[in-house]
């Protein structure tokens, strides 16, 4: 008879820490879904456009590093199995985003943020604290995070060169996925976060985006 192993909080922390080190070190995960840009033509970008698009995609890649860390921290401290499973499912889907963003960065002859280890460590700590606050607050944190990310992606879609269909296809699919994750958290009972917390989240995200665009 096979036995189902039950992982302790420490076990889950160590597992996610190992995954985080791999991601932060630049190990590119394999996407489960096809890249939305796979069958679209490459376009001619001048040097300024290339650097700009690379900056945007680096921000989005760093954001996905943060998303993995947030979900990992929350899954490690979640109290209910169904909440932990929902967090893990969302994290698995976000792996596709990581892979797609890195593929586009390489096409643009660029790389991810040099501060990815810092983004991961800080986001994991925030996610763990959200999980310790209770599952409903943790789900509320996911709901607000995804709402802000969806709005951010809409802004980036407006900042892309009109002819960059490859980057646009990736961001469009990411935006759709983030909206679905936000709905999942809301339907699972996520609390609406206080206004001060939402403002602090937006402020912190803004700092990360400004830095990752350049580094």
Query: Which domains, ranges and CATH numbers included, belong to the chain?
Result: 9-25+45-214 (1.20.1260.10)
Per-residue tens of pLDDT for the chain, all 215 residues? 444 556 565 565 555 556 666 666 666 778 889 999 999 998 899 999 999 999 999 999 999 988 888 888 887 777 777 777 777 777 777 889 999 999 999 999 999 999 998 888 888 888 888 888 888 888 888 889 999 999 999 999 999 999 999 999 999 999 999 998 888 888 888 889 899 989 998 999 999 999 999 99
Helix H, strand E, coil C: the string for 172-198 is: HHHHHHHHHHHHHHHHCCCCCCCHHHH
Cα–Cα distance measured from residue 177 to residue 126, given in angstroms and rounded to the nearest whole number:
22
User: What was the pLDDT predicted at 36?
Assistant: 95
Cα–Cα distance measured from residue 124 to residue 171, given in angstroms and rounded to the nearest whole number:
24
Cα–Cα distance measured from residue 158 to residue 185, given in angstroms and rounded to the nearest whole number:
27
Reading the block at residue 88, the tokens are 């893990």
User: What was the pLDDT predicted at 7?
Assistant: 57
* Element of type H or E holding 12: helix 9-24
Interacting residues of 152 by C-beta distance below 8 A, sequence separation 6+? 63, 205, 209
User: What was the pLDDT predicted at 83?
Assistant: 74
User: What was the pLDDT predicted at 1?
Assistant: 43
Interacting residues of 205 by C-beta distance below 8 A, sequence separation 6+? 63, 148, 152
């Amino acid at each position: 008879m096979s036995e189902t192993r039950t992982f302790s909080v420490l076990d889950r922390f160590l597992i996610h820490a190992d995954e985080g080190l791999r991601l932060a070190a630049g190990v590119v995960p394999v996407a489960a879904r096809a890249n939305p840009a796979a069958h679209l033509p490459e376009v001619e970008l001048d040097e300024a456009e290339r650097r700009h698009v690379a900056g945007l995609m680096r921000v989005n890649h760093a954001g996905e590093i943060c998303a993995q860390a947030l979900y990992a921290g929350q899954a490690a401290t979640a109290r209910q199995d169904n909440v932990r499973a929902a967090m893990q499912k969302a994290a698995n889907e976000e792996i596709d985003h990581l892979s797609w963003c890195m593929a586009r960065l390489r096409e643009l002859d660029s790389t991810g943020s040099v501060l990815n280890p810092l983004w991961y460590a800080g986001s994991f700590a925030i996610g763990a604290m959200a999980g310790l606050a209770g599952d409903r607050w943790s789900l509320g944190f996911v709901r607000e995070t995804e709402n802000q990310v969806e709005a951010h992606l809409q802004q980036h879609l407006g900042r892309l060169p009109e002819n960059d269909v490859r980057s646009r296809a990736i961001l469009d699919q990411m935006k759709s996925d983030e909206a679905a994750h936000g709905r999942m958290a809301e339907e699972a009972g996520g609390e609406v976060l206080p206004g001060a917390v939402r403002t602090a989240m937006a402020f912190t995200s803004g700092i990360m985006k400004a830095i990752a665009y350049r580094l």
